[in-house]
A = this chain, B = another copy of it.
Amino acid sequence: MVRIDGRKPNQMREVRITRNYIPYAEGSAMIEVGKTRVICAASVEPKVPLFIKEQGLAGGWISAEYSLLPRATHTRIIRDSVKGRISGRSHEIQRIIGRSMRAVVDLNLLNNMTIWIDCDVIVADGGTRAASITGSYIALFECVNKLMNERKITEYPIRDYVAATSVGQVKEEVLLDLCFEEDKCAEVDLNVVMTSSLDIIEIQGTAEGKPFSIGRLSQMLDLAAEGISHLIGIQRAALGESLIKKK
């Protein structure tokens, strides 16, 4: 099957990462996946949330917020600030972003700091949660480097790469990295977050149209792993010199 935009089933859209997109942030990146564009920014707050402190859970924390600009979508959406509450979808997504970043960081090395990850979607052509995770890693990386350089943390806390992609089933065929038009009519929608060894950090799959077998899930996971492997290659390229400097 030829896809809406001419891609092969296992072909990801073009990915571009622009580092240091926001001058004031401690770390930031603009990630583009096809037409989808997300600004990811990392900020440092010199304290941890109350519940972490009270429960002695960790020596630091990473928290994420996700939002769409009103015209990121085909029709304008009303701002959460106007409605006075965060939408259920935003809540769901920002919780995944936060968990994904925390999964590759040794929080105990964060020295009583919280790193805030802000993902603001400029254009939403499908795959914004996956793009947010892949881009947030770059922002987080820059931020941690800055903290290391400023000696605010003393031991390097990032343990691995993390990236995410979506896989879907459209007309019984398994496709990598759905764009909005494909996503709309997908029968199954799967988001996968993985490390560089292609172990799973987070998996979320939903039968939009009809239930799917464990076998089909397995097939989709293999395709996701392929895509994430590609994305981590792009992350490595983007971070290139920084990686060397780090050592």
Contact = CB atoms under 8 A, between A and B. Distances in A.
Contacts of A8: none
B118 A69 contact: yes
Interface residues of A, number: 65
A202 B197 contact: no
Interface in A181-198: 194-195, 197-198
B214 A200 contact: yes
A31 interface: no
A85 B81 contact: yes
A217 B200 contact: yes
A86 B95 contact: no
Main secondary structure of the interface of A (DSSP, over half): mixed
Given A203-B205, A214-B200, A23 B35 contact: yes
A2 interface: no
Question: Which of A41, A200, A217, A225 lies at the interface centre, i.e. has the most chain B CB atoms within 10 A of its CB?
Answer: A200
Interface of A: 22-25, 28, 35, 39, 41, 43, 45, 65, 67, 69-76, 79-86, 88-89, 91-92, 94-95, 99, 103, 116, 118, 120, 122-123, 160, 194-195, 197-207, 210-214, 217-218, 221-222, 225
Given A23-B35, A43-B70, A70-B118, 13 more contacts: A22-B69, A24-B73, A43-B75, A65-B79, A79-B80, A80-B80, A84-B85, A88-B91, A92-B92, A200-B214, A201-B206, A203-B204, A218-B218
